[in-house]
Amino acid sequence: MGTFTQSVAVECAQDGAPARLRWEGREYVLAERPLRWFERRRWWAEEVRAEKGRGPGLVDHEIWRLQVSLARAAHAPVRTLDLAHHLDSGRWRLVRVHEPAAAGTLRRTA
């Protein structure tokens, strides 16, 4: 579907991983365990200087890939979303909505 940026409300589990989210007025729950990685950001184009010893949040973006479905719909299709977590502010942004996969390629866990 594409890349963009939109603020979303995320509720996290005790380990800090996303567990639920609210997007466009709807509640979503995870259908699979989320994946996390870090991507470099162009901090030199956005910041005047980098403080010594400060890396996470300044140099890297924390990215989470979630497979979610509507919380109140038992047979809702699974959607794959990428979220960026801003470590300093705690804010979450939706940065990518993936095209639906072909039927039968996504599995749900209980």
User: How many Cα neighbours within 13 Å face the side chain of 3?
Assistant: 1
Per-residue pLDDT, 3? 57
Q: How confident is the model at residue 105 (pLDDT cuts 50, 70, 90)?
A: low
For the segment 34-87, what is each residue's pLDDT rounded down to a tens digit? Answer: 999 988 777 667 666 666 665 555 667 899 999 999 998 888 899 999 999 988
d(CA 59, CA 57): 6
